[in-house]
Amino acid sequence: MTQPVTLTKSRVVALNRLCATGYELLLDRSGIQFTAGQLINLHGRDHFEDRSYTVCAGERDEHLTVLFRHVPEGVLTPQLIQLKPGDDINISGPYGEFTLRDRNRPVIFFATGTGVAPCRAYLRSFSGLNLTLYHGVRFAEDLYYQQEFQSVAYHPCVSREHPQPGIFAGRVTDLARINQFPPDSHYYLCGANEMIYEMQEILHQRGIPPDAIFTEAYYYRFDDT
């Protein structure tokens, strides 16, 4: 029998617009403890409007942070962008298993769009990680948290415009095909399903065992890779 969802009433601390469509929602933790990489549900006016988001914050951060892209035709994000500090919002969770398996092994993280959220949670939760991030987006303005990722091996990729120096022109999978990866690494793939499928094939061709690859699909949208 399905157990009823237990709702927690949280409070909006801030809503920050990061770019034309990207937003960062800060929420009161309301006693919630989570493991970096886990998700929470944000609940809309009706149950069919509920959506899941990875907590884009460190385990010891003061607030829960959610990174999302406003989709005008969506059912929940048009509600989220109307929130103001002090507003109440129902949340549930955490849940999910897209967590770090072994902090002592090199972490190679491939993300598209908002799929970079769990990588930020890892980085803010655990010091000394040997972490390499490949982040693929369409436009440079969608490279969220660039300054924070300067502390690791960071490979931003832009597919829809000619980027500035230091940013790869093309999809994240294009760069993956020509780069080498440290041995004995764990691979985390998050974002567009299409990117995940392509990266799994690339890694398979390199002889990476399936038990070293972990995935979290966010959406179908090939042009975000």
ω into residue 94 within 30 of 0, thus cis?
Answer: yes
Examine the pLDDT at 222 and tell me if it is beyond 50: no
Q: Supply the pLDDT for residue 173.
A: 97
Question: Cα–Cα distance between 57 and 145 in angstroms, integer?
Answer: 12
CATH class of 8-95: mainly beta
Amino acid at 60: R
Domain boundaries, the chain: 8-95, 107-224
Topology agreement, domain 8-95 and domain 107-224:
no
Q: What pLDDT, in 10s, does the model give residues 58-99?
A: 999 999 999 999 999 999 999 999 999 999 999 999 999 999
Return the sign of the alpha-carbon dihedral for residues 21, 13, 41, 200: positive
Q: What pLDDT, in 10s, does the model give residues 157-171?
A: 999 998 889 999 999
Give the SS3 label for residue 49. Answer: helix
User: In the chain, which ranges are continuous DSSP H helix?
Assistant: 77-80, 117-125, 146-149, 172-178, 193-205
**Which carries the bigger pLDDT value, residue 5 or residue 217?**
217
Domain 107-224 grouped into CATH 3.40.50.80: yes
Residue bearing tokens 């005008």? 72
* φ/ψ of residue 90, rounded to 5: -85, 135
Q: Supply the pLDDT for residue 17.
A: 98
